[in-house]
Structure formats: structure tokens, C-alpha cells
Amino acid sequence: MSALGELERFPISVFSVVMGLGGFALALRAADDHLGLPSAGMGLAVTVVTSVLFLALLGLYGLKGARYPSAVAAEWAHPAKISFFPTLSISLILLSAAWLPHAPGLARALIVAGSSLQLVLTVAVLSAWLYQTTFEVQHSNPAWFIPLVGNVLVPIAGVSQLSAETSWFFFSVGMVFWLLLFAILLNRLIFHSPLPEKLVPTFFIFIAPPAVGFIAYLGLTGGLDPFARVLYYTALFLTLLLLVQLPRFSRVVFGLSWWAYSFPLAAVTVASALMHAHTGLPLFRLVALGLLALLTVLVAVLVVRTAAATRRHGLALEQP
């Protein structure tokens, strides 16, 4: 396939790689802050690599938009692919959180840009859902959490950089739509046809809303209360539910959708580190360390497999 043909098929979902690596960087920093591991330097290195990767991917997708606007429009009209457009704004928000201890000025610019774009994309995607005429129940999938629940990420970086009301606004939108979509998706998964194999890894996205919600809520309130515990234990249960099904997930053919494993696992790792920090209980330290070890192995596998896929398929990354 020619380079131009590869560029036309360059997917918006590629920014899920940035989400996964950004989450990994935050998990490494949390391990240094709350678990006593000397991992801050590695976290900074991952942040730098992730930032460079983000700029490269942004340039390539911008070039795709300039040369093949119809291909971008087709992704926007697709019932699954449209949900991945906010991975762009979420990447900015995660990079803001990752850079905050090292470059506060850069972090503030990133959170302002990321939260503004997140709001625009939330309204745009929800409007597209409300007025479309072709979606059916079987088109819904856990990736639908990304456009709306992604708002919960804003307070993680924004609580110290934006106004309190701004952070509460994004948190409220994300948490309310999490509950609504959670019910919709459970109905779809239980009473309708199974997810296509390619989308099976997106089951892990179920972990992200309560885990990220817990992290954001702690930042907003400053303490551990009953609602925070509900969020954390919900995330922990969903993690357990999905981890016992790893043999089933391992049979899925590799694709970019595998990166859906990484960010949710990073989120529950950070959440567990924070639970240890707030309770002092050794159990939560063990849980966080175990999850961090699993996350580290997972990210290494994903990087190697993605590099191999890029060598085989170029910018298209996958076979159609």
C-alpha cells in the first residue's frame, strides 16, 4: 500500500495509545508519591516520550484531515469510531496532569486547551448521537463512555489550575452520563448480540469511569468519604470481574483496540495507590503494586505489538 493510502486509513483511535502511555506515566508518579517506589524519573521519561508521540500523531492526523477530509468525515459518521475523537482532548488533559509537577505553565496551557476541546467534542458527539438515523442497539459499545465520561478527567489536572466550579461542572457531566450509559450498555450486552471480537478489549473501559471518578473526587473534596469508597470499590470489582476473564481476552487478534486495556488499568492503579495513601492499609499497597506490575508488562507488550503492526501495515496500522 502506498504511503498516501496508508495515511487515508490512519485511524483516529490511534490517540488511545497516548491515553494509555499518559495513564502509565501518572501511575508511575503515583507509585513514587504513595508507594515508596523510585519511579518518578521513569514517569518523567514516559511523559516526554508520550508528548513527542502525541505531536507526531497530531501532525499525521492533521495531514490526513487536510488531504482526505472525506475519510475523517466517514470516521465521524461511524457508530464506533466517532467515540474516539475525544481521545484527542483526553490526551491533552492527561499530558497536563503528567507535566504539572515539572512544567506548571505548560500544564496550564494543556488543561485549558484540553478541557475546552473536551467540551466542544462532548456537545458535538452527543448532538450527532441524538440526530442520527442509522444507529441501532448493537452499535453501542463501551467506547461510548469516552466522549462523555472523559469529562471526569478534567478535575484531575484542573483542580489546581482551573476554577473549582469549572472542575465540578466537568465532573458532574461525566458522572451523570456514566450512570446513564452504564445501564444502556449493560442492557445491550446482556440482551442483544455479543460485541464484535475487535471491540472485546473495550470491556476494560468499564473500569475507567469509577476509577477516574474516585481520583477526581478526592482532588475536589480532599478526603475519603462514603461516596469515594463506592467509586473505588466499584472500580475494584469491575477490575476483578475482567481480570478473571483474561484467557478470553488473550484470544482476541491484536489491534489498536488492545490499548483499551491500558488506560483503565492505569486509572485503577492510581486509585489504589491513593486508597493506600488515605487509609494506610497495607492491602491497598499490595493491590496497587500488583496492578502496576501488570500494567508495566501490558504496556511493554502493547508497544512491541504496535511497533510490529506499524512495520507490517504502515500508518494504516491494521488490516481493514
Report which residue type is found at 124.
A
Residue 128, CB half-sphere, CA atoms under 13 Å: how many? 21
Integer Rg of the chain from CA = 19
Q: What is the predicted pLDDT for the residue at 315?
A: 72
56-60, 123-127, 165-169, 195-199: the lowest-pLDDT one: 195-199
Residue 241, CB half-sphere, CA atoms under 13 Å: how many? 11
* Cα 194 from chain centre: 23
Confidence check: pLDDT of 1 > 60: no
Report which residue type is found at 299.
V
Q: What is the predicted pLDDT for the residue at 5?
A: 65
Rounded Cα distance between 266 and 320, Å, is 29
Rounded Cα distance between 239 and 216, Å, is 18
Q: CA–CA distance from 151 to each of 148, 157, 206, 257 (Å)? A: 6, 11, 15, 21
Q: What is the predicted pLDDT for the residue at 317?
A: 74
Q: In this predicted model, what pLDDT tens digit does every residue of 262-308 receive, in sequence order?
A: 999 999 999 999 999 999 999 999 999 999 999 999 999 999 999 99
Q: What is the predicted pLDDT for the residue at 255?
A: 86
Q: What is the predicted pLDDT for the residue at 277?
A: 97
Confidence check: pLDDT of 316 > 80: no
Q: In this predicted model, what pLDDT tens digit does every residue of 148-161 receive, in sequence order?
A: 888 999 999 899 89
% the chain with pLDDT above 90: 79
Residue 259, CB half-sphere, CA atoms under 13 Å: how many? 22
Domains of the chain: 3-316 (1.50.10.150)
With contact defined as beta carbons under 8 Å apart, do 167 and 158 qualify? yes
Q: Quick one: which of 113, 86, 110, 112 has its CA closest to 98?
A: 110
- Higher-pLDDT residue of 269 and 129 is 269
Q: What is the predicted pLDDT for the residue at 2?
A: 57
